[in-house]
Structure formats: structure tokens, C-alpha cells
Amino acid sequence: MSPSTLAIETVGLSKFFGRRCAARAINLAIPQGAVFGFLGPNGAGKTTTIRMLLGLVRPTSGNGRILGYDIQRERAAILPYIGALVESPAFYPYLSGQDNLRILMRTARQENPRRIAQVLEQVALTHCANDRVRTYSLGMKQRLAIAATLLNHPRILFLDEPTNGLDPAGTVEIRQLIRQLGSAGHTIFLSSHQLHEVEQVCTDVAIINRGQMITQGRVTDLTREGAALLVTAEPLALLQVVAERFGVQPQVLDTHTARVPLASEQIPKLVAALVNAGAEVHQVTPQHSTLEQRFLELTAAGNGAPTTPDQPAHR
């Protein structure tokens, strides 16, 4: 398969449970090497989409490809390339982390102690490889679960809300691990209901709600798009001059305030330029990016409610 082959591609992928629409016409195009965030509130259809991609549930209509292979007809060809953490996997609590991984490898008819040591090292569990899993914290168990998905050197990792239930320290560790895995060349499909998590670790994102995709694109594009600064400065005429140097046109709102289409990273430079030009800067307030705006709308009260029945029953 060529490097230009998409890691994951879906066309019209849909799933109905009876009359309930869990995912409708999902079109994804995820390049190899992307750290892709699949963002949506509870019940949006994230897990259902992942389960379809993994061949765990049959799509009602549409189709998908992983590394060019059909997700329904060529599952056996796909399996060696993927690792997945969908529901918290069950480990034997009375065995050590290392022994649990050994059992998982044996189930796949493999035996490779070096690989086990490598993945434990990758998730920073070497120091407690021989401790019983019963003694692990939730975050350590989650890292062990990620280690298990890495055993077969997968190119694509599916992680379904891997930071769910973790405390802030555990969450940071998992995010760092995801970033490392992304830098190491893995394609990552990360589902999450946290915007800032996706912004922090992902290169690409799609927002899903009530089974439908709302938007998708590069995180940098979507966070820049629609973002602006509300600037209160005197005299406002100087803002007009300075904004031109940034290549943008301010929109004057009142005698002292204008909306400047710049992202919040530009605040220090803009303020410095204004002060240098002799203006008094009273206030600079960032306005929401498109991504943030859409996500806030979706997660507003009531929007995370389960989907309503709206289609004839067919499986």
C-alpha cells in the first residue's frame, strides 16, 4: 500500500439500532500519521463508529476502508495493522502486568518477552512490571491497556475515551503517551468528549453529535477559523493602521472598540504594536474559534441527549 493510502476512510457509514440512529452517513478521510480526534458529547455515536471500523458491529449502510482494506470483507488483512482500546479491558488482577501481557501474546500464539519489555517501557510501567495488577492505579491499568494494544506493532491505534475516569495526573500521563505515540508515527483515532484534550493532542478533528458529523478538518485551521479579538483602544484610528500591518481589516463596533480577525496567539504582538504606535490599550478579549463555538453549541444543555427515533427499522 502506498504512503498516500488513507489510514481510515469511510463513505456514508451508518448504523441504526432498530429505529434509533447511532451514526448517520459518516464520511471520514484520515491520513496516515494523523492524530485524529473524534469529538462529541455522550451518545454522539463515537463508540458505535469505532465498533463498525473494528468489525465489531455491522454497518446498516455505507462502507469503510482501513489502509485500503474493506472493513467488512477484509478484516483478517486489517487485524495485524491495528490495536484498539474500546472498553476498559479486563486484566487478571492477581497476576502481574508483565504476566497479563504474556497471556495476551500467547492467545495470539506469540511468545516474545523482549516485546513485552519494550511496550512496558513505552508506557513507563517497567518499574512495576512484576507487581500484581490489583495494586495498579486506574491510570496504570489504562497504560497497561495501551501497552497491550501496542504488542503487535500496530500502525493504527483506536483509543476510545482513554482518559475517562482518570484524575488530572493520570490524564496528563495518557495524553503525553498519546503524543509520543503520534510522534513515533502511529496513526491514532482518539475519541473524546473534551475539546481541550483534542486541541492538545490531535492534528485533525471531526465533531459528531446525534450520529451526525458536524465538521472536520485540521485542528489548526478550525481553531483559527472564526477566531477574533475584541480590542478596546484609544485612539481607535491607530488600531486601523496597526491591523493593516497584520494584514487584517478591523470591524469597528463603537468609538473605542473593534473586532480584529486575529487568533489569540497574536495578542502580545498586537498589543506591543499598538503601544509602540502610541495607543492606549484598555482591553483585548479573544472570541471563540469555530471549533469552540460549534462544540459549545453541541454541548449546551439538552444537546447531549440520546438520539430520537427517526427512521424506519432496518438492521
Which of 38-46, 109-117, 171-179, 262-270 is the region at the interface with Mg ion (rule: CB under 5 A)? 38-46
Pick between residue 48 and residue 98 the one whose CB is nearest to Mg ion.
48
Say which entry of ligand ATP, Mg ion, none residue 14 contacts (CB below 5 to 8 A, set by partner kind): none
Instruction: Specify burial of residue 260 (Cβ count, 10 A radius: 0-12, 13-18, 19+).
Output: buried
Say which entry of ligand ATP, Mg ion, none residue 43 contacts (CB below 5 to 8 A, set by partner kind): ligand ATP
The answer to whether the beta carbons of residues 306 and 45 sit under 8 Å apart is no
Q: CA–CA separation, 204 vs 308, rounded Å?
A: 29
Counting contacts by CB under 5 A, is residue 192 touching Mg ion?
A: no
Please identify which residue in 10, 14, 32, 47 interacts with Mg ion, judged by CB under 5 A.
47
Quote the least distance from Cβ 149 to ligand ATP, whole Å.
18
> What are the C-alpha distances in Å from 215 to residues 36, 52, 206, 288?
13, 20, 6, 16
Pick between residue 159 and residue 202 the one whose CB is nearest to Mg ion.
159
All three cell numbers of 96? 502481574
Quote the least distance from Cβ 13 to Mg ion, whole Å.
16
In the complex, which residues of this chain contact ligand ATP (CB under 6 A)? 17, 20, 22, 40, 42-48, 193, 306-307
Pick between residue 46 and residue 141 the one whose CB is nearest to ligand ATP.
46
Around 101, how many Cα atoms within 13 Å sit in the side-chain half-sphere?
30
Q: CA–CA separation, 67 vs 65, rounded Å?
A: 6
Q: What is the DSSP string of 211-260?
A: TEEEEEEEHHHHHHTT-EEEEEEESHHHHHHHHHHTT---EE-SSSEEEE
Say which entry of Mg ion, ligand ATP, none residue 32 contacts (CB below 5 to 8 A, set by partner kind): none
Pick between residue 47 and residue 171 the one whose CB is nearest to Mg ion.
47
The residue whose grid cell reads 483585548 is 284
Which of 45-53, 88-96, 146-154, 179-187 is the region at the interface with Mg ion (rule: CB under 5 A)? 45-53
The residue whose grid cell reads 497574536 is 266
Quote the least distance from Cβ 55 to ligand ATP, whole Å.
15
Q: CA–CA separation, 88 vs 275, rounded Å?
A: 54
Pick between residue 46 and residue 143 the one whose CB is nearest to Mg ion.
46
Pick between residue 6 and residue 22 the one whose CB is nearest to ligand ATP.
22
- Which residue ranges make up the site for Mg ion (CB under 5 A)? 46-47
